[in-house]
Amino acid sequence: MSAALAEPGTSRMALALTVNGRAVRVAAEPRSHLGDVLRDGLDLTGTHLGCEHGVCGACTVLLDGEPARACLTYAGACAGAAVTTIEGLDADAIAGELRAAFNREHALQCGYCTPGMLVAARDLVLRLPEADERRIRVGLSGNLCRCTGYAGIVRAVMAVIAERRGRGIPPETGAARPLGPVGARIGDAAFAPLEPPADRIAPAAPAAVADLSDAFTPAHGFTQVLDLLHPPEAVFALLGDIAVVAACLPGAVLTARPAPDTVEGGLQARIGPIAATFRGRARLARDEAARTGAVHGAGTDAGGRSATEGRIRYRVEAGPTPGTARVELDVGYTLTGPLAQFGRPGLVRDLAGRIAAEFTRNLDARLSGVAAPAPAGLNPLRLLLGLARARLAAWFGRA
């Protein structure tokens, strides 16, 4: 514990750690385990605590580059070590491939085991020479999942290993791993670096418009259709007034006067137990002749722990009856951080449908000359109750 300095007159010690690529100093009691320090001291709640006996694997993190149980590791024993949590793997190439494979293979349900499962799976992707199902199951045997039955998880890990070996990426030999417990060579580790190395944890500033690349590839996407009882020309003209659009969109706020091609603002959202206000900037584009447009933006929440980038393309066409309009939306987005654990594509699409219905009502009121609606908050309870009613109606309708 040479790097752990006892605080004078107290039972707490100041620990110097490198967490997700950033040097930190945190006070902790000598009996505290690493999981509590990460969650309570550093607000890194992606590290989940389950059994707290080292059995379930939900708290798995990387300690000096190797998987370790945070619930069994005294924080004081980690002084000077490098710790990587699931938040530190947001930009890691292997973890990104695993997240996509987990989504594709339906390898998660409640998501509680997923952070630890991803950390353990990443280690297998690095080390196993081939996609051997038996060895993957053995390697993941210390990570328990009560939802999936493991089949999707194993398929996802096998797929990533096979794809990487097929691209000519060899496994790590493991020769650099010394004997002894994980973290025994504190402060002097030789391990597989993250891809790219984690060099950010501080709250991120909103993306500059110049940083929004045309090559953006969203992780998820969906389409939405809005029908309005107003002429297409009037609808398209109204969509060009970003202040009106923000007033009609639940949860949206403007933080600066919009320019013709840029806007700065935020979106208040609550999904599951996590609430966030994303603030950022967006680039606007419109084609008057084709009656099409696009909004491409990015932002982070106040703590910088969750981030999103998205693009909405829209087209206004004549509706099914004369004098009406149909707005076709093509939405693509990427969500990272704690909020992503609850932002599953199916839930996002369902909630987007409820938001779009309220947005359509507000637009209709504007076009009809009704008093402008007050900026609407995103009421998750009302949206989820509406979703539940719709699902029940669909089930009973099929019965």
Rounded Cα distance between 290 and 305, Å, is 39
Helix crossing, 114-127 with 151-166: angle to 10°? 40
pLDDT for 156 beyond 90: yes
Which of 38-52, 96-110, 132-146, 250-264 has the lowest average pLDDT?
Answer: 250-264
Q: Are 263 and 254 in contact (CB under 8 A)?
A: yes
Predicted TM-score of the model (pTM): 0.57
pLDDT for 113 beyond 50: yes
Q: Are 277 and 266 in contact (CB under 8 A)?
A: yes
pLDDT for 49 beyond 90: yes
Is residue 204 left, alpha or beta, with left meaning phi > 0 and alpha meaning psi from -120 to 50?
Answer: beta
Which of 29-38, 72-81, 192-201 has the lowest average pLDDT?
Answer: 192-201
Which residue, 44, 40, 36, 45, is CA-closest to 71?
Answer: 36
Which residue, 25, 29, 41, 36, is CA-closest to 61?
Answer: 36
Q: Give the model's pLDDT for residue 372.
A: 52
Q: Give the model's pLDDT for residue 141.
A: 92
Q: Which amino acid is at 201?
A: I
Rounded Cα distance between 50 and 144, Å, is 10
Residue 9: other Cβ atoms inside 10 A: 6
Which of 145-154, 171-180, 275-284 has the lowest average pLDDT?
Answer: 171-180
Q: Give the model's pLDDT for residue 6.
A: 43
Query: What φ, ψ does residue 68 adopt, rounded to 5°?
Result: -150, 150
Residue 38: other Cβ atoms inside 10 A: 26
Q: Give the model's pLDDT for residue 274.
A: 55
Q: Give the model's pLDDT for residue 13.
A: 84
Which residue, 302, 330, 298, is CA-closest to 316?
Answer: 330
Q: Give the model's pLDDT for residue 270.
A: 60
Which pLDDT band holds residue 389 (cuts at 50, 70, 90)? Answer: low
Which pLDDT band holds residue 217 (cuts at 50, 70, 90)? Answer: confident
Alpha carbon of residue 331 to chain centroid? 17
pLDDT for 185 beyond 50: no
Write down the mean pLDDT value for the chain.
80
Residues in Cβ contact with 344 at an 8 Å cutoff, skipping those fewer than 6 apart: none
Residues in Cβ contact with 295 at an 8 Å cutoff, skipping those fewer than 6 apart: 282, 283, 284, 285, 311, 312
Q: Which amino acid is at 78?
A: C
Which of 36-45, 90-99, 158-167, 276-285 has the lowest average pLDDT?
Answer: 276-285
- Secondary structure, 3-state, 243-254: HHHHHHCCCEEE
Tell me the per-residue pLDDT of 260-291, one tens digit each, with 9 for 90 and over.
Answer: 888 898 877 665 555 667 788 889 999 999 99
Helix (H, G, I), strand (E, B) or coil at 13: strand
Q: Give the model's pLDDT for residue 308.
A: 83
Rounded Cα distance between 134 and 354, Å, is 44
> Averaging pLDDT over each range in 51-60, 170-179, 367-376, which range is the top one?
51-60
Residues in Cβ contact with 93 at an 8 Å cutoff, skipping those fewer than 6 apart: 195, 196
pLDDT for 10 beyond 60: no
- Token digits for 230? 């107003």
Q: ∠ CA(141), CA(147), CA(152), 5° rounding?
A: 65
